[in-house]
């Protein structure tokens, strides 16, 4: 039985190699995406989506925008135990999935109806709750950043893809 599933898996990969498009658009295969290798991250250096959050404190002033996925310093220990960075990578994967959903959205459609939008709202709210002091409301932006080759932490070009309205902290 297991051998049958393994053969079926490789057969699906083989068929996917000969399809005209590079993406599989089937809703059923979407749920199996973890089993299919994706090498698009080696394609080229391009715009990277980043989630920025801004918090309004009790004094009614907005704090500075903060990136939700900051670059962290790596160490040898991270090769063996790295739960904090793995959580950041999962959150960044959610942001990239949301950007993909936005790109496939029909013109004039409401992005707030997407499941990934509500997950991003919850992620931004969780970040706002971690900040010191009371949080009255928050908002977020999805920014597309083009990194510089010699200074990857300072983007060369930034474009705002989506800006949320002010969201009340409840």
One pLDDT digit (tens) per residue for the chain, 170 residues: 888 988 888 887 777 767 655 555 666 666 666 665 555 555 567 788 999 999 998 888 999 998 887 667 778 887 788 888 888 888 888 999 999 999 999 888 899 899 999 999 999 999 988 888 788 899 999 999 887 777 666 777 888 889 899 888 77
Same domain for 77 and 14: no
- Cα 164 versus chain centre, distance: 15
Query: Considering the chain, what percentage of its residues have pLDDT values greater than 70?
Result: 80
Residues 19 and 65 in one domain: no
Structure tokens at 94: 């959610």
CA distance 76 to 89: 18
Domain range spanning residue 98?
A: 45-168
CA dist., res. 101 & res. 104, Å (int) = 5
Same structural domain, 61 and 130: yes
The domain tally of the chain equals: 2
92 and 140 fall within a common domain: yes
Whether residue 15 is found in the same domain as residue 32: yes
Alpha helices in 18-43 (DSSP H): 27-30
| CA distances in angstroms from 5 to 1, 36, 95, listed in the order given | 7, 14, 32
């Amino acid at each position: 039985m297991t051998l049958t599933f393994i053969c079926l898996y490789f057969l699906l990969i083989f068929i996917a190699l000969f399809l005209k498009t590079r993406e599989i658009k089937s809703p059923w295969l979407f749920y199996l995406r973890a089993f299919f290798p994706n090498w698009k991250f080696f394609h080229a250096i391009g715009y990277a989506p980043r989630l920025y959050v801004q918090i309004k404190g009790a004094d009614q002033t907005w704090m500075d925008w903060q990136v939700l996925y900051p670059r962290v310093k790596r160490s040898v220990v991270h090769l063996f135990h790295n739960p904090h960075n793995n959580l950041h990578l999962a959150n960044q994967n959610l942001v990239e999935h949301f950007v993909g959903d936005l790109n496939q959205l029909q013109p004039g459609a409401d992005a707030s109806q997407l499941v990934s939008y509500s997950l991003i709202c919850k992620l931004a709210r969780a970040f706002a709750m971690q900040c010191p002091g009371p949080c009255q409301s928050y908002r977020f932006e999805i920014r597309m950043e083009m990194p510089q080759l010699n200074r990857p932490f300072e983007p060369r070009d930034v474009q705002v893809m989506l800006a949320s309205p002010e969201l009340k902290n409840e």
